[in-house]
Structure 1
Amino acid sequence: MASRMSSAMWTQQFQRPAESGASLQGQIRQMLVAAILDGQAAADTALPSSRELADQLSVARNTVVLAYQQLVEEGYLVSRARSGYFVNPAVLEGRHTFVARQAVAASDMTGQPDWSQRMTRLPSTQRNIVKPANWQNYEFPFVYGQFDQTLFPTSDWRECCMKALSVLEIRNWAPDLIERDDDTLVQQIRTRVLPRRGVFSMQDEIVVTMGAQQALYLIGDLLASSRTTIGFEEPGYPDARNIFLDRHAPLVPLPVDEYGIRPELDADLLARCDYVYVTPSHQCPTTATMPLERRHALLELAQKHDFVVIEDDYESENNFSGTPHPALKSLDTADRVLYVGSLSKSFAPGLRLGYVVGPRALIQELRALRRLMVRHPVAYIQRAFAAFLALGHHDALLRRLMLAYKERAQALNAALDTYLPEFRHAQISGGASSWIEGPRWLDATRLAAEAEAHGILIEQGSVFFMAGLEQRHCFRMGFSSITLEKIAPGVRALADLVRQQQRQA
């Protein structure tokens, strides 16, 4: 005989999140599917009648009927004439229920392996930039690399996603691409994205990655080892540094001034390198822009001393002062520059789309290596982003972001000059952050912790320096995800905490 679950159980299970975008019918379906797959509704369990469940949940009966009918079509329920709806036993065949898994987890398991002895390295112990997962709940989120919902082109992106879901488009992206990328996206990168930076390439000289982060990981995995010396900006991007250190590559710190690394002054250091990693458009984290003469000098030294430049152009699009300097790659006449870019950083970091431009022989190997990791970035996202580029939405977004970021940068500059006049910071000419150097007595790590407790998020600066070279009086403030009207009050509140630390110094 089929069992019947308590009617009170459904009332308890049915929740209507205040911010849920699902319809009532969708919420009922989700509730029923969860109960079935989690083992709370056993095989052949009888469900309440549509009228009974509608009364329990205070919804229209037709809403329940439609939910039941769709679950029948999907195989979760079976309908029996004059008896009602029941959990389909076939859907649970071969499944270990959630309840059973809980029982196993609660049991006393013995003989577990000692994972601390088995792991060859511990990536979690690396020094990384840390941001609270709930950063959007803070009143003053001066965090870098996060998006502003008010600037997100919702309707434009939805249009492109719907376009990619047409029958003909699905046939293009649904199959396994193996090592290939979406041809339309690569074409858009070639013709719409790279020419803005003066870079021209062939189709087989581009590989799409899951963000610039994976691009750097692939390059590091393929090229870096204990036998390769890498010149690295000091201070510099922690994740790139960790990637190279993970390959046991010796790093040579290249000091950064207000114009980036100094090729002429540090020629002896550069001569020791096999690779040199740089962020010339807006140096991470100082935001310095490398002048044209230094770019030429770096490329000349690359040829003279036979090293390769890894150009991370992650923030090239955010420029407030007119036409940006040409990318190093655009000046490269000897294929000595590997060009890494991001498509999603200024748009929506969660999309994870980037690319590498380089010699076709190297790109071929990067594709083969990527295949071992993820095959390829999600083809549906590639196709939707190709449409986003082709329809001009990306160019329009960049123009809106430039105007918004310029206004916020001016507000942050003014607030810092007003409330923290003794602190050094460059006048922001692009990008989405400001690098700030406080007096030597400042402990920016302590300041960041105290600020977080007061609803202010900043990024302590020591993580950007190599181990043993940390400078504790520096920090970074991003402005991509904080509204304009919050900037001055946020800096003023931060200045109050600085004064408290100063009195205790």
Structure 2
Amino acid sequence: MGKLVPLRRREATGQVNVLPPSDILFWNSLFQGLDRSGAFLQLQIRQMIVTAIEDGRLPLGVRMPSSRDLAALLKVSRNTIVIAYEQLVDQNFLVSRERSGYFVAGLPKQIEQVRSNGLPAAGSDESRWTERFALRPSQFRNIIKPLDWQSYPYPFIFGQFDPSLFPTNDWRESARAALSVPEINNWARDMIDGDDPALIEQLQCQVLPRRGIRARSDEIMMTIGAQHALYLIAKLFVVADTPVGMEDPGYPDARNIFGMLTSNVVPLRIDEQGLVPDEVFERCRLAYVTASHQCPTAVSMSLERRRELLRIAKARDILLIEDDYESELIPEVSSLPPLMSLDVDQSVLYVGSLSKALAPGLRLGYVVAPAPVIRELRALRRLMLRHPPLNNQRVAALFIGLGHYRSHLQQVARVLLERAKLLDRMLPQFLPNCSWTRAAGSTNYWVSCPEGTDTTQLAEKARARGVVIEPGDVFSMHEAATRHCFRLGFSSIRTDRIEPGMECLGSVVAGR
């Protein structure tokens, strides 16, 4: 970055000067992501300044704009800038000099010393670290979604949420209640390897019974999302040569988790009823199953297939890891019971999530399993992070206990069902040469394009026109098998954008 032009002094008349054009360009660029319609403006401003200091865009000694000038430039109140500056002074990122203003200080001094010595920053030699890594998870094939997906007009992506559906007022009420003095006394302590008993009770009384599951408190453990639960289970049961069955196509993150611990991840065949319990399945010690809505094909396992799976699991001593990630968000038909509710032989470890129904950023998942398994999972979780944040657990417990969870599910179900019916009509119209699957209750379609289609390239072209879809190659162990497929989610896109989005996607698929 070039040297910043000094700020103009104020005239004796007291008239407020405007920043020089060169400075205006720089400071506008620095704060270009500021959301003036959002909350905590001063917090946003502080974060942007700290980021600019840490990455060197604001070097040591640079003078900051006056609070008046920066407030005028950003169109925020002067008090907002003053508070932000004073907080940064307290944190040693800025220094205040009487009659001179605010200047960058603190952390950048270390950065500048390294630069002035002509020495490379620590960690810049990547090969040095590569030789030390025990594994390279960054090299795994993962689902990739744009972090700024909300900025696209037509985000047909799975697992995200439509902000307009979030129960803001009800969540605020629950959060305020959790901040009362008695509640703080409940969640501010260290539970070692325990969970909030109020949330466990709500799961027992209101959440799990909806899925036909009854469990004691010592058979439930909270996790930071369902994926955390899968990692803990894998760590507890999988060693270097354990044969773990993985639906193929299936959930890439689960495949990667198991693949870190064993070289024997076995692809399991999928048909129109989900996982096929054939002779390959029978040779597994564990098997990952998405019975309610197979990931990613969205087909539902029939009741007969579920019973057959449990019968073989008992006979062959196979442990089933059931990921019930959607839990029937859309009750279009009578829900089929999850494997856990049918299991009488303790063959199933059940993984659930509150995040899918509320917002994925909440990261609230849970495991239901026999008490001896939960005891070991708690001990393992303690070594990783002790327990998920208790304040979040208590807010969720209050949210469920006040009846907000049930009413929220009813509202979400109505909206998602409307979107599903709309897409049922739109798919034949705009994708006439494709086929698709979606079982009742699922929030995504699995779309198969004509053979030879590369949906990775298709997704890039669609994204350039504002449409976000998920290419299918990442879901299969052999990526060519599903390269012509893509996942089309509808939980994140507003209902009024579905038709124009499908029209645009149809044009891209048709090559127009």
TM-score of the aligned structures, taking structure 1 as reference length: 0.84
Q: 2:252 is matched with which residue: 223, 229, 238? A: 238
Task: Tell me which residue corresponds to 1:366.
Answer: 377
Query: Cα–Cα, structure 1 residues 194 and 251, in superposed 2: closer, same or farther, change >3 Å?
Result: same
Task: Tell me which residue corresponds to 1:19.
Answer: 36
Partner-residue secondary structure (3-state), 1:470:
helix
Q: Which amino acid aligns with 1:429?
A: A
Q: 1:449 is matched with which residue: 460, 463, 475? A: 460
* 2:151 paired with 1:141: no
Task: Tell me which residue corresponds to 1:289.
Answer: 300
Percent identity, aligned pairs only?
44
Query: Cα–Cα, structure 1 residues 29 and 222, in superposed 2: closer, same or farther, change >3 Å?
Result: closer
Q: Equivalent residues in 2 for 1:165-180 (5 A)?
A: 165-180=179-194
C-alpha separation between the residues in 1 aligned to 2:161 and 2:167? 11
Task: Tell me which residue corresponds to 1:318.
Answer: 329
- Map Cα deviations across residues 131-175 of structure 1 (whole Å, 9 max, x no partner): 111111112111111110111111111111111111111111112
- Map Cα deviations across residues 408-436 of structure 1 (whole Å, 9 max, x no partner): 11111211111222311125511211001
* 2:145 paired with 1:128: no
C-alpha separation between the residues in 2 aligned to 1:466 and 1:34? 39
C-alpha separation between the residues in 2 aligned to 1:226 and 1:98? 45
Task: Tell me which residue corresponds to 2:196.
Answer: 182
Q: 1:255 is matched with which residue: 246, 250, 269? A: 269
Is the contact between residue 413 and residue 428 of structure 1 (CA under 8 Å) also seen in structure 2?
A: no
* 2:438 paired with 1:421: no
* 2:450 paired with 1:439: yes
Partner-residue secondary structure (3-state), 2:406:
helix
Task: Tell me which residue corresponds to 1:304.
Answer: 315
Q: Equivalent residues in 2 for 1:35-54 (5 A)?
A: none
Deviates more, 1:29-38 or 1:426-435: 29-38
C-alpha separation between the residues in 1 aligned to 2:244 and 2:45? 56
* 2:389 paired with 1:378: yes
C-alpha separation between the residues in 1 aligned to 2:240 and 2:255? 14
Query: Cα–Cα, structure 1 residues 75 and 357, in superposed 2: closer, same or farther, change >3 Å?
Result: closer
- Map Cα deviations across residues 206-259 of structure 1 (whole Å, 9 max, x no partner): 110000010001111111122211121111111101111111241222211121
| Superposed displacement of residue 327, structure 1 | 1.2
Q: Which amino acid aligns with 2:139?
A: T
Is the contact between residue 245 and residue 288 of structure 2 (CA under 8 Å) also seen in structure 1?
A: yes
C-alpha separation between the residues in 1 aligned to 2:510 and 2:318? 47
| Superposed displacement of residue 130, structure 1 | 0.6
C-alpha separation between the residues in 2 aligned to 1:67 and 1:108? 37
Is the contact between residue 35 and residue 41 of structure 2 (CA under 8 Å) also seen in structure 1?
A: no
Query: Cα–Cα, structure 1 residues 444 and 30, in superposed 2: closer, same or farther, change >3 Å?
Result: closer
Deviates more, 1:472-481 or 1:63-72: 63-72
Q: 1:159 is matched with which residue: 173, 180, 199? A: 173
Q: 2:111 is matched with which residue: 90, 101, 108? A: 101
* 2:290 paired with 1:279: yes
C-alpha separation between the residues in 2 aligned to 1:47 and 1:447? 46
| Superposed displacement of residue 469, structure 1 | 5.9
| Superposed displacement of residue 109, structure 1 | 2.6
| Superposed displacement of residue 190, structure 1 | 1.2
Task: Tell me which residue corresponds to 2:12.
Answer: none
Partner-residue secondary structure (3-state), 2:270:
strand
C-alpha separation between the residues in 2 aligned to 1:483 and 1:305? 46
C-alpha separation between the residues in 1 aligned to 2:399 and 2:170? 7
Deviates more, 1:102-111 or 1:31-40: 31-40
C-alpha separation between the residues in 2 aligned to 1:403 and 1:153? 14
Is the contact between residue 255 and residue 262 of structure 1 (CA under 8 Å) also seen in structure 2?
A: yes
Query: Cα–Cα, structure 1 residues 477 and 84, in superposed 2: closer, same or farther, change >3 Å?
Result: same
Is the contact between residue 174 and residue 395 of structure 2 (CA under 8 Å) also seen in structure 1?
A: yes
Q: Equivalent residues in 2 for 1:69-84 (5 A)?
A: none
Task: Tell me which residue corresponds to 1:3.
Answer: none
| Superposed displacement of residue 470, structure 1 | 2.4
Query: Cα–Cα, structure 1 residues 229 and 497, in superposed 2: closer, same or farther, change >3 Å?
Result: same
C-alpha separation between the residues in 1 aligned to 2:141 and 2:456? 13
Task: Tell me which residue corresponds to 1:396.
Answer: 407
Is the contact between residue 138 and residue 457 of structure 1 (CA under 8 Å) also seen in structure 2?
A: yes
C-alpha separation between the residues in 2 aligned to 1:351 and 1:232? 27
Runs of 4+ in 1 over 4 A off after TM superposition: 6-16, 22-42, 52-79, 83-87, 110-113
C-alpha separation between the residues in 1 aligned to 2:142 and 2:81? 51
Query: Cα–Cα, structure 1 residues 96 and 369, in superposed 2: closer, same or farther, change >3 Å?
Result: farther
Q: Which amino acid aligns with 2:506?
A: A
Query: Cα–Cα, structure 1 residues 101 and 194, in superposed 2: closer, same or farther, change >3 Å?
Result: same
| Superposed displacement of residue 194, structure 1 | 0.6
Partner-residue secondary structure (3-state), 1:199:
coil
Task: Tell me which residue corresponds to 1:354.
Answer: 365
C-alpha separation between the residues in 2 aligned to 1:473 and 1:55? 55
Is the contact between residue 28 and residue 67 of structure 1 (CA under 8 Å) also seen in structure 2?
A: no
- Map Cα deviations across residues 241-291 of structure 1 (whole Å, 9 max, x no partner): 11111112412222111211123xx1x122201011100111101111111
Q: Which amino acid aligns with 1:355?
A: Y
| Superposed displacement of residue 118, structure 1 | 0.6
* 2:164 paired with 1:150: yes
Q: Which amino acid aligns with 1:457?
A: V
Q: Which amino acid aligns with 1:237?
A: Y
Query: Cα–Cα, structure 1 residues 54 and 178, in superposed 2: closer, same or farther, change >3 Å?
Result: same
